[in-house]
């Protein structure tokens, strides 16, 4: 059928028609809101490169969690900024570490909230790398044990799901084994399977205070030029026992989300990262774009590409708009 028999505009005539044939919907229940937790009391500091996003102390978490739930955003992912750092990231698995304390607080005060934890060492090491060093090299195998210990400490504190973001080889299997040995076989792993060495993480590194003190992360995070390698990474994580696969960043990697969607039947999450958020905010603040509309279009594009879950700093803003519609 061709024009004039077929006229696509017939079904775009009014908002009821448009809604009737809409292929993709955003759902706040599938957003994950990142929370940054800092030491101290009664503090809420706005992150300068991420307007509208705050670093908060543990006592503020109840309010943060309840705000999310009220908007239908049922899940948060926690990042911790510890008081002190060392060479091996001991703070990452300390029983009373910043994240462990934050998890207990949230699970006690807002039990319905799904608490996901980022499992990585970069916020806890004084050199800012995601693993332990031997000389100037981030050592894979000695890091695995610490990552597994970290994931276990999160589960013991009450986390609902762990999300390893370090990009060491074999970490999903190691974490799965240690969780299972300790009777946490029901805690799922949402793996950052496909995480690129991206400049879009810039604002996050300010927020989490985790810029590498030397070199960069290209010996463990993926080369932005590669797409087949993403399938190999995802296959490994599936075989090692991952329950959900993350692609990160999101918008510059929509092709990767789409490829994973075609190749795997596990749920896929996309992380719309700090730099992606900051660019939209900055342009909107300058009056160059309509921030709300660009936000929605961006999140829709991530869904359309095939993501089920979106981890995004926009979670609450978008949920609020959907709620008031
Ligand atoms: C920790 C981690 C990073 C992000 C999430 N977990 C930073 C990095 O790998 O450098 C980035 C998130 C964002 O930019 O919003 N490894």
Report percent pLDDT > 70 for the chain: 100
C-alpha of residue 112 to centroid of ligand 1, in Å: 26
Please say if the pLDDT value at position 250 is more than 90.
yes
Q: What is the mean pLDDT of residues 216-220?
A: 95
Q: Which residues contact 286 (CB under 8 A, 6 or more apart)?
A: none
Q: What is the Cα–Cα distance from 78 to 268, expressed in whole angstroms?
A: 19
Going from the Cα of 270 to the center of ligand 1, the distance in angstroms, rounded, reads 13
Q: Please spell the DSSP secondary structure of 186-201, one letter per residue.
A: TS-BEEEEEEB--GGG
The atom number, within ligand 1, closest to the CA of 34 reads 15
Residue 53 predicted with pLDDT over 90: yes
Strand partners, 55: 36, 45
Atom of ligand 1 nearest to the CA of 130: 16
* Distance from Cα 118 to the centre of ligand 1, integer Å: 9
Say how far apart CA 123 and CA 109 lie, in whole Å.
Answer: 25
- Percent with pLDDT over 90 in the chain: 98
Q: Is the model's pLDDT at 105 over the cut of 90?
A: yes
Report the candidate in 35, 95, 98 with the shortest Cα–Cα distance to residue 66: 35
CA of 21 to the centre of ligand 1 (A): 37
Query: Per-residue confidence at 88, pLDDT binned at 50, 70, 90?
Result: very high
Split at pLDDT 50, 70, 90, the class of 189 is very high
Interval between CA 172 and ligand 1 midpoint (Å): 18
For the stretch 222-240, pLDDT in tens is 999 999 999 999 999 999 9
Domain boundaries defined on the chain: 8-324
User: What is the domain class of 8-324 according to CATH?
Assistant: alpha beta
Residue-level pLDDT at 265? 98
**Residue 273 beta carbon below 6 angstroms from any ligand 1 atom:** yes
Model confidence at 209: pLDDT above 90: no
Query: pLDDT digit string (tens) for 128-176?
Result: 999 999 999 999 999 999 999 999 999 999 999 999 999 999 999 999 9
Kindly tell me if the per-residue pLDDT of 206 is higher than 90: no
CA distance 191 to 144: 14
Q: Is residue 130 in contact with ligand 1, taking CB distance under 6 Å?
A: yes
Q: What are the residues facing 75 on neighbouring strands?
A: 32, 114
Whole-angstrom distance, CA of residue 298 vs CA of residue 119:
27
246 lines ligand 1 (CB under 6 A): no
List helix spans (H) across the chain: 15-20, 61-70, 98-109, 140-157, 171-181, 202-208, 228-240, 254-263, 274-285, 291-305, 315-324
Query: 276 CB less than 6 Å from ligand 1?
Result: no
Mean pLDDT over 241-261 rounds to 98
CA 272 to ligand 1: nearest atom:
15
* Tokens read off for 21: 């044939």
Of 166, 190, 201, the residue with max ligand 1 atoms within 8 A of its CB, to mutate for a pocket test, comes to 201
Q: Are 152 and 182 in contact (CB under 8 A)?
A: yes
66 has catalytic annotation: no
The residue contributing the CA closest to ligand 1 atom 2 is: 165
Ligand 1 mutation target, pool 204, 211, 281, most atoms within 8 A of CB: 204
pTM above the 0.85 mark?
A: yes
- 195 has which bridge partners? 248
Catalytic residue status for 107: no
Task: Choose among 95, 83, 99: nearest CA to 34.
Answer: 99
Does 50 sit in the ligand 1 pocket, CB within 6 Å? no
CA distance 101 to 157: 8
Task: Return the bridge partners of 80, or none.
Answer: 37
* H/E stretch holding 80: strand 75-80
Q: What is the spatial distance between Cα 150 and Cα 99, in angstroms, rounded to a whole number?
A: 10
CA distances from 183 to 155, 172, 253 (A): 10, 16, 36
Distance in angstroms (rounded) separating the CA atoms of residues 292 and 299? 11
Q: Residue for token digits 């160059």? A: 288
Closest ligand 1 atom to Cα of 166: 16
The label of the residue with tokens 């927020």 reads 207
Q: Which of 85, 248, 281, 303 is catalytic?
A: 248
Q: Which of 274, 272, 243 is nearest to 257 (CA)?
A: 272
- Residues belonging to the chain: 325
Question: Which atom of ligand 1 sits closest to the CA of residue 195?
Answer: 9
Q: Which residues contact 7 (CB under 8 A, 6 or more apart)?
A: none
**Annotated catalytic residue within 66, 95, 195, 316:** 195
């Amino acid at each position: 059928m061709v024009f004039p028999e077929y006229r696509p505009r017939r079904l775009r005539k009014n908002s009821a028609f448009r809604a009737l044939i809409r292929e993709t919907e955003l759902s706040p229940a599938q957003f994950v809101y990142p929370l940054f937790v800092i030491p101290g009391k009664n503090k809420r500091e706005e992150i300068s490169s991420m307007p509208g996003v705050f670093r908060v102390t543990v006592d503020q978490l109840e309010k943060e969690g309840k705000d999310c739930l009220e908007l239908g955003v049922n899940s948060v992912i926690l990042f911790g900024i510890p008081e002190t750092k060392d060479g091996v990231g001991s703070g990452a698995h300390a029983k009373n570490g910043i994240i462990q304390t934050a998890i207990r607080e949230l699970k006690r005060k807002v039990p319905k909230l799904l608490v996901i934890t980022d499992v990585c060492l970069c916020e806890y090491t004084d050199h800012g790398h995601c693993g332990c060093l031997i000389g100037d090299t981030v050592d894979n195998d000695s890091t695995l044990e610490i990552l597994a210990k970290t994931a276990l400490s999160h589960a013991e504190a009450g986390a609902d799901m762990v999300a390893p973001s370090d990009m060491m080889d074999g970490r999903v299997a190691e974490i799965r084994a240690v969780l299972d040995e300790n009777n946490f076989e029901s805690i799922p792993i949402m793996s950052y399977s496909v995480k690129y060495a991206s400049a879009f993480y810039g604002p996050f590194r300010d927020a989490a205070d985790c810029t590498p003190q030397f070199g960069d992360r290209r010996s463990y995070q993926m080369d932005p030029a590669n797409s087949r390698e993403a399938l190999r990474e995802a296959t490994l994580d599936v075989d090692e026992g991952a329950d959900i696969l993350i692609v990160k960043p999101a918008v510059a990697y929509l092709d990767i989300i789409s490829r994973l969607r075609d190749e795997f039947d596990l749920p896929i999450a996309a992380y719309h990262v700090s730099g992606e958020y900051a660019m939209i905010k900055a342009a909107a603040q300058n009056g160059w774009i309509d921030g709300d509309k660009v936000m929605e279009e961006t999140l829709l594009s991530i869904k359309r590409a095939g993501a089920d879950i979106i981890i995004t700093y926009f979670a609450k803003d978008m949920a609020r708009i959907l709620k008031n519609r």
